[in-house]
Amino acid sequence: MSGKIDSIDKFILLWGDNMTLYIALLRGINVGGHKVIKMADLKRVFESIGLKQVKTYIQSGNIVFESEEGINFLKDRIQSEIKKEFDFDVPVMLRTHDEFINIIKQCPYEVHLLLEGESVHVAFLANVLSEEESSQLLTFKSELEDCYIDEKVVYLFFQK
């Protein structure tokens, strides 16, 4: 199998439940020609620090890998190695396989009942929002747009 996968569904289905699996979400790479990183180079960096079963997802900067290390150590190590290799800072968010599955399962919207033109999006946050930040975000709700905040995740629902 190559180091690249072409379907988000395969992100989760490639591994069994008994492995420590992480999903890395890199913010702001390969957008508008800025902070360009080839996925093959990114994969090489992840492998060079001992991460296993490294797979990239398109040019998004989303990467799946295995590790025995803790999430905070990994986040700092990955950010440091990217800075060292590419000479720019890239914020990294990590979620475990179980966290990712729970985020999908806990979606407050009935995704299977969406009408044509409706959509649900998930925004991953690096930190839990303060009460003030949450209140400010909720002011944008309207008849056609809704959002639900759950710790470090924001679910967005857009109607027609």
Q: pTM of the prediction?
A: 0.79
Distance (Å, whole) CA 93 – CA 91: 7
Please identify, among 101, 126, 147, the residue that sits at the C-terminal boundary of a domain.
101
Same domain, 38 and 90: yes
The verdict on 125 and 147 lying in the same domain is yes
Co-location of 146 and 70 in the same domain:
no
- Residue ranges, the chain, pLDDT below 70: 1-19
CA–CA gap between residue 154 and residue 137 (Å, rounded): 10
Q: Find the domain containing 153 and state its range.
A: 106-158
Is the same domain home to 73 and 52? yes
What's residue 17's pLDDT?
Answer: 44
